Every structure is written in structure tokens, then in C-alpha cells.
Amino acid sequence: MLGNKNFFFRYQNLSELSVRHPNGVGFTKACFAYFYGMFYMVKTPWWLKKMYPSLVWDIPSEEKVLYLTFDDGPHKIFTPLVLSHLQQFNAKATFFCIGKNVGETPSVYSAILQQGHAVGNHTQNHLNGWKTKDDIYIQNIAEASAHIQSGLFRPPYGRITKFQAALLQQRQAGPFVIIMWDVLSGDFDTDLSPERCLQNVMMYAKPGSIIVFHDSAKAFDRMNYALPRVLEHFSNRGFTFKTLSGIPLK
């Protein structure tokens, strides 16, 4: 792992940042833990946003708007349930689809679009950018583009190198806007209670936040508990839920 050029690149950046940060030691440890995938952060910290300024982490706004996103679908059972929760609150969202799943459930994919939601590319086979050669990664995303007509891309696991990101942002077939997030619900974490998943969003969502859920079997119990409560809580406080379509390239 130490010999990997991507790791070295990230390590250099972390060193520079940690020198400047007042809590240098703790900060570096947190970075290492993050980059080795030992834990995930519910609220994306300022320093991670600064390290990748060309990626979209939130849409700063005075307006009470939230951007719900659903990754890893479409799924023939769970995606329609998400759609019905959203419909009850007239909420719009963005679905980062896996190309393979779109190929297997085209009618569910069509239903997402018919109901006024946006879609984004999440690769053809849910590849981890850090573990995939650049040409294979880009090719896999192009394959997914045959199923998913969208200029939005979210890297699976949030793992993409700066070089891969630059290739996607400059590609001739039309540049991708790369969408990350501000708040992770943690619905994918099978050790998390549904109540805690709900609290994660309640505590950290603010106007302009991009929030991650999953329309997948693994996340269903937590997502299905948290989502309707998030929709109700924020709707009652004057928030609206919009898609990420039309977000400009950074």
C-alpha cells in the first residue's frame, strides 16, 4: 500500500495540511483513519472539503433547501418504496444509479425520471476508484453512461483520486459534475440503529446540505425508518427537497 502512487499523493497532501492545522497530531490520525477506511464521518469536515475543492460537497444557500441522494439502486423493491415516501412530501431527490442495476430494472429507472427526480452515474459495477486503474475506472463509467443519461457522477465509497476526478471533469463526451456529500445518514452501517441513523441527519443537515441514503437491501431497515421522519421534520420547518440537476461544474 505504501508503494501505491495514489496513497503517496494523498499522504503528501495530508502532511501539508496537518502542519498548518492547530491540532496537527489528532488531525493526521483522523486522516489516516479515514483514508484506511476504519471509520466514516457523518458530517463531512471542512478540511476534507478543502482538500478536494473541485468536488461538490454542498450547495451553500440561505434558502431552506435540502438535497437528498440515494445510491446503489435502482432496486425493484426498495426504490419504489423510496419514491412513495418522497411523493408523500412532494420531495424531489437524486438517484446515483449503478449501470448494471439500471440494465436489470429499466422500469424502476424510468419511474424515477417520470416522477421528476434526477439521476447520476455511480459506475457500471460500483468500483472503488482508489483500487482501480484509471483507464478501467473511466471505461466502467462510460459503460454506465449507456444506461444513465446524466452529467452527475458520484464515486462509489466516495473514493476517487484527483487525477480520475480531473479526467471526468474534462472528458470530451461532456464533463461530469462530481457530487460528494455533506451528511452521511449511515444507513449502510448494519451496526447502527435506525434511531441513530435518523439523528445523524437531524443533527447535521443544514440549508444546502447534500445528504446520502441508499435504496439498497443492506440499508433498507435504517433508511426506511429515517427517511419519512426526515421528510416530515424538515417539511414542517419550511424546508423543500430538490434535485441536483443543473448544478454547475466547479
Active site residues: 71, 214
The helix (H) or strand (E) run that includes residue 195 is: helix 194-204
Separation of first and last alpha carbons in the chain: 31
CB of 214 to Zn ion, least distance (A): 7
Q: Is 44 left (phi over 0), alpha (psi -120 to 50) or beta?
A: beta
Determine phi and psi for 121, rounding to 5 degrees.
-90, 130
Q: Is 187 a residue that touches Zn ion (CB under 5 A)?
A: no
Say how many CA atoms lie within 13 Å of 197 toward its Cβ. 24
Residue 19 or 136 having the CB closest to Zn ion:
136
CB of 195 to Zn ion, least distance (A): 23
Residue 153 or 234 having the CB closest to Zn ion:
153
Name residues whose C-beta falls within 8 Å of residue 3's C-beta, 6 or more positions apart in sequence.
none
Site mask for Zn ion (CB under 5 A), range 126-165, x = bound:
------------------------------x---------
Residue 123 or 161 having the CB closest to Zn ion:
123
> What's the angle, vertex CA 138, arms to CA 133 and CA 144, rounded to 5?
130
Q: Which stretch binds Zn ion (CB under 5 A): 22-30, 34-42, 66-74, 79-87?
A: 66-74
Q: Which stretch binds Zn ion (CB under 5 A): 25-33, 71-79, 158-166, 190-198?
A: 71-79
Q: How far apart are CA 132 and CA 244, in angstroms?
A: 27
CB of 163 to Zn ion, least distance (A): 21
CB of 155 to Zn ion, least distance (A): 8
Q: Is 182 a residue that touches Zn ion (CB under 5 A)?
A: no
Contact 122, 69 (CB under 8 A): no
Residue 243: closest CA among 142, 120, 132? 120
Q: Is 72 a residue that touches Zn ion (CB under 5 A)?
A: yes
Residue 72 or 187 having the CB closest to Zn ion:
72
Residue 18 or 101 having the CB closest to Zn ion:
101
CB of 157 to Zn ion, least distance (A): 7
Q: How far apart are CA 89 and CA 32, in angstroms?
A: 40
> What's the angle, vertex CA 242, arms to CA 103 and CA 145, rounded to 5?
25
Q: Which stretch binds Zn ion (CB under 5 A): 35-43, 64-72, 138-146, 171-179?
A: 64-72
Among residues 71, 182, 187, 215, the one that binds Zn ion under rule CB under 5 A: 71
Q: Rule CB under 5 A: which residues touch Zn ion?
A: 71-72, 156
